[in-house]
């Protein structure tokens, strides 16, 4: 334990992709995606509850055949839509989230 975000990013920068497999039947917050997205490493996820609020920021698959296709594309240089990634990161920035809370409290 005790790894830092910098160490995580070192691994992500050395990786072809981050393959996430998460399933949930409850309310979900894809915090791993939030943490790793700005590394530039393509994130591949099983389509499901964790990907409901994600668009082109991550690469999704539904079954093993699609996973094989997505992995092959990543190895050929495919990445997620960079504009979508940047928009997602900007929308989830600490400043943006803080501004939403300020607006919420001012409206009460």
Domain encompassing residue 102: 5-107
DSSP string, 38-56: GG---EEEESSGGGTT--T
The mean predicted confidence, pLDDT, of the chain is: 84
pLDDT tens per residue, range 54-93? 888 899 999 999 999 999 999 998 888 788 888 887 877 7
32 contact partners, CB below 8 Å, separation of at least 6: 20, 22
Catalogue the E-assigned strands of the chain: 18-20, 43-46, 59-61
Number of independent structural domains in the chain: 1
At residue 53, the pLDDT reads 80
The share of the chain scoring above pLDDT 70, in percent, equals 90
**Mean of the pLDDT values across residues 96-100?**
78
At residue 15, the pLDDT reads 93
pTM (2 decimals)?
Answer: 0.74
Whether the pLDDT of residue 25 is over 70: the answer is no
At residue 44, the pLDDT reads 93
What is the strand order of the sheet 59-61 is part of?
Answer: 18-20, 43-46, 59-61
At residue 60, the pLDDT reads 93
């Amino acid at each position: 334990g005790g790894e830092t975000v910098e160490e995580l990013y070192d691994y992500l920068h050395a990786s072809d992709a981050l393959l996430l497999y998460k399933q949930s039947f409850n309310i979900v917050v894809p915090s791993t995606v939030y943490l790793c997205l700005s590394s530039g490493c393509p994130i591949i996820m099983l389509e499901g509850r964790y990907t409901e609020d994600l668009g082109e920021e991550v690469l999704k698959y539904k079954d093993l055949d699609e996973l094989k296709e997505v992995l092959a594309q990543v190895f050929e240089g495919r990445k997620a839509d960079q504009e979508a990634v940047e928009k997602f990161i900007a929308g989830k920035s600490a400043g943006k989230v803080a501004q939403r809370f300020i607006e919420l409290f001012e409206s009460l």
